[in-house]
Amino acid sequence: MGARAKAIFPLALVIGVLSYLWTEFSLNFTFHWVTVAGTDVPGAVGVPQNFHFILPTAFISWGLFFAAGGDNAAFGKIFLASVFGTVAALVTIPLSYQTAGFPDFWGIALWVGIFAFVLVMILIAGDWYYVAGTFPAFAAVFLWWVATGMDGWAPVGADADNGAGATGLGAFGGLISTLWAWVWFDTLVTLIVGVILGIVSGKLAALLTPKPKEA
């Protein structure tokens, strides 16, 4: 094994193992362990509670952690970026559907544009603000809002209840329909999990990486 491979292998191994553990944990938590009572039947999956982990979202902040430097400073940058980005989305969503409801998208587009402007302008606050991490966090909330049925904006299925109080059709035939406020909270928590996975994978890889031999 070459010197480059020896340096990369520990990090690759740690990330591979943690990715497996996160995937196994998050999917079982969401669809088996913490579901609406009476909906998890043998050979199927249950209806998720309002709070659940979003498997792919953690990989967003995990990757951003390494893009920001993969160190303690990067942890702080992406943590704050996750908060700023998701809170901006939390404010954007209700303003969007109150401005223009279904089927008009211009209300969503208007407020996304306004808050995108605001998120960039916050750069004047200093180098501690990492806008390259804020945008993906902002987008992650909208991604899950769309995937879960755009609660509050889309009237289709508004009278339906998936057992967790969530409305809208959403993916899985409405199985993961989620109230928009919970969309924000689930996304924020999962992004923070991703940052934690980032710092843990970096620390573990450092422990496993062979130290240069002293001359």
For residue range 2-53, list pLDDT tens digits in order: 778 888 999 999 999 999 999 999 999 999 999 988 887 788 888 899 999 9
For residue range 72-117, list pLDDT tens digits in order: 999 999 999 999 999 999 999 999 999 999 899 999 999 999 999 9
Q: What pLDDT is recorded for position 163?
A: 56
Domain boundaries, given as residue ranges, for the chain = 3-39+52-208
What's the CA dihedral at 48, 50, 55, 57 to 10 degrees? Answer: 160
For residue range 160-175, list pLDDT tens digits in order: 455 555 555 566 667 7
In order of 31, 38, 97, 208, the CA distances from 63 in angstroms are 25, 37, 31, 20
Task: Return phi, psi of residue 33, to 5°.
Answer: -80, -45
Q: Which residues contact 181 (CB under 8 A, 6 or more apart)?
A: 90
| CA–CA gap between residue 214 and residue 14 (Å, rounded) | 26
Q: Report the predicted TM-score, pTM, of the whole model to 2 decimal places.
A: 0.91
Task: Return phi, psi of residue 211, to 5°.
Answer: -80, 140
Q: What pLDDT is recorded for position 159?
A: 45
